Amino acid sequence: MKDRVAIITGGSRGIGRQCALDMAAKGAKLVINYRGSQEMAKETAGLCKELGAEVLLVKGDVSKEEDCVQLVKAAVDAFGRVDILVNNAGITKDGLLMTMAEADFAQVIDINLRGTFLMMKAVSRQMIRQRYGRIINMSSVVGIMGNAGQANYAASKAGVIGLTKSFAKEVAKKGVTVNAVAPGFIETDMTAALGENVKAEYEKLIPSGAIGSAQDIANAVSFLAEEKAAYITGQVISVDGGMSIA
């Protein structure tokens, strides 16, 4: 991955941060997008720089087309190309469908699904011009199985799978691969707030009997981002301890 240029959306913490660290360790130049905490983004950038990586931080909202276009432009202006796109930015607004506010449904779709579409669109011409690209979209086991109380999130992540497979067919002859990673129950800042009883109940649903880590997801993302994954496209890799087959 040496000297490859990678854009990671939602890269300031959690899974996005771990993906950035892995790619930094392998020699990639990084463009880390964030929407909220600049402090956390700077912390991630600092950790990547300690590993020898060149890093550019770009604030932006992936649900806005102009921000996506500017993010790709900033990457090309800084490094001359974009080789890898990790569509990691995402949010949850959980609630039962019958009482879910339309605004909560719309916001989750806008960021998780529309944002993925807009970023793929923004980077597509650059990658096709290069005749090289690796796009990895973050789906979820929930997009495969569904989950009570997460109709909006499940719909957005199922949509990501459809986008992935469709765009993979469009660019397969252009040297560009498009794949998705579907995490299961992963230990992040979001899940850390859950009580131990809730975590224990989730563990019962996982055949491996263990909650995953951000590193587990980053391992899959890094593999799909490498040159050796050239013959893998349009696939959904579940990293869930067997949760989706239980």
Active-site residue set: 153
Torsion of CA 221, 223, 228, 234, to 10 degrees: -40
Burial 232-243 (b: 16+ CB within 10 A, else e): ebbebbbbbbeb
Share of the chain residues as helix, strand and coil, in percent rounded to the nearest 5: 55, 15, 30
Torsion region of 175: left, alpha or beta (phi above 0 gives left; psi -120 to 50 gives alpha): left
Q: How far is Cα 246 from Cα 244, in angstroms, rounded to an integer?
A: 6
234, 164 Cβ separation under 8 angstroms: yes
Cβ distance 4 to 79 under 8 Å?
A: no
Contact 105, 154 (CB under 8 A): no
**Please, are residues 58 and 33 in contact by the beta-carbon 8 Å criterion?**
yes
Alpha carbon 149 to chain centroid distance? Answer: 22
